[in-house]
Structure 1
């Protein structure tokens, strides 16, 4: 499979491009970016062509990996799907529910395979743990926390306009949902409350009857962000916690590439396809509406 990369930001350079270049079963076919000079630099680093237009890249590939802001990603994902290209997307798939549905509809209409990259869901021991707990069942309640210091340190992602606008809810919220939904079931009720900075607290009622709580932040002090991501389940099997990450994001992205290859070859949708990505966006949008409502009353 020939895969082209759309995007040239830090995540594209640190994860997408090296993982595509290293994967033995795909051809890293080239790069397009909104900044031609950045696309040329990233492409040269991996010995692949930089394309001046999206259409030229699409004509040369079988699939696209997208590392763009969610509102931009949705536009180009729908365009790529309409051109018959398989989709390897990043979370969240879009910044609005309508845009997420447009990507889903385009993928369904063309019959292309899709995978949305959630680092935890493709994270080796973490992914195995999620599958095991989903099969086990009997869960009563759960808690997730994704607490970072992106906006209080010199993180390369601190200058990201979409993260500054959307905050932790949309950046790390998808990680929490990617753990909770496959284990506890879909979300049928969301209650959201703001904390300091961009911190958001969620209470979720799941279709299986369990409830969960989620704390999300990118504005925590560096000291408070230690051990910043985790999940705990409590139920008839006792108490279990999400294992620590056992590999770099590039390894997880390699597994996402494997998943796209399998979905394209077999026609069997992956659990983390664009439909799941759209559902995550719907839950985030419900929470965001409540958070904005509280902010407006203050």
Structure 2
């Protein structure tokens, strides 16, 4: 499968392009970016053409891997789907549920495969944990904390405008939901509150009565970073395991998943799941601003 990378930032460079350039069953065929100079630099780094016209890139590839801000990603994903290209998308799929639904509709209409790269879901230790415990069932509570500190000198994401504007809710929230929903099920309604250092605190009620809490921030004090998920159920308590893969390896697994989906074996983390996550995050945004319980 021939891939084009849309995006020229840190994630596109060190994860997506790196994984595609070394993948045994995929070919990195070209790159496109909003900055022609950055696209040229990225193309030169991996020895592939850089395109200034995204439609010209579409003509040379079977699929696109997108590493762009969500409000830029969604309309380009629709355009790529309409051109008949399979979609390997980043999270969040969009910042607006309607835009996410447009991606789903375009992919369905074109008959192209979709995978959203919720990173944890392509790490074998974590996906194996979720699969086994979903089959076990009986989970009624979960607590997740994701406190990172990206706005520090030298951090590759410190200059990310959309992350600064939308915070941990939209950047970390998709990661958190991707490891909560498989065990506790869809979210029915939720409430949310703000905390110091742009922390978002969520209380979610799931179908069947389970409940979960999430605390998320990109701007934790440098010495107060934390990551962890705990689950509680009829069979006991457990925690999310540590990674057993690098980010590049995880993205390679997502490439495999997209090729499988194109062959008729869809992955759970498709655009429809990405749209579901977008709806939850949009509801959390409304709940946080209104101090009310919001139905998803």
What TM bracket, shorter-length normalisation?
Answer: over 0.9
Aligned counterpart for 2:232 among listed residues 209, 231, 234: 234
1:46 maps to what in 2?
Answer: 46
- Inter-partner Cα distance in structure 1 for 2:135 and 2:13: 36
Q: What's the RMSD between the two structures over aligned residues?
A: 1.0
- Say if 2:143 and 2:212, in contact at 8 Å, map to a contact too: yes
- Inter-partner Cα distance in structure 1 for 2:38 and 2:124: 31
1:222 maps to what in 2?
Answer: 222
- Inter-partner Cα distance in structure 2 for 1:218 and 1:280: 19
CA apart distance, 1:269: 2.3
Residues 179-231 of structure 1 show CA distances to partners (whole Å, capped at 9, x for unaligned) of: 01111100001111111122100011111321100000111111111xx2221
Residues 235-287 of structure 1 show CA distances to partners (whole Å, capped at 9, x for unaligned) of: 11111100111221111100000000000012x32100000000000000000
- Inter-partner Cα distance in structure 2 for 1:83 and 1:208: 41
1:278 maps to what in 2?
Answer: 275
TM-score normalized with structure 1 length: 0.96
CA apart distance, 1:124: 1.6
CA apart distance, 1:155: 1.4
Segments of 4+ moved more than 3 angstroms: none
- Inter-partner Cα distance in structure 2 for 1:130 and 1:230: 15
CA apart distance, 1:58: 0.3
Residues 128-159 of structure 1 show CA distances to partners (whole Å, capped at 9, x for unaligned) of: 11111111111121101111011245311011
Q: How many residue pairs are counted as aligned between the two chains? A: 291
- Say if 1:152 and 1:220, in contact at 8 Å, map to a contact too: no
Larger CA deviation: 147-156 vs 159-168: 147-156
1:79 maps to what in 2?
Answer: 79
2:175 maps to what in 1?
Answer: 175
- Inter-partner Cα distance in structure 2 for 1:140 and 1:38: 47
TM-score normalized with structure 2 length: 0.96
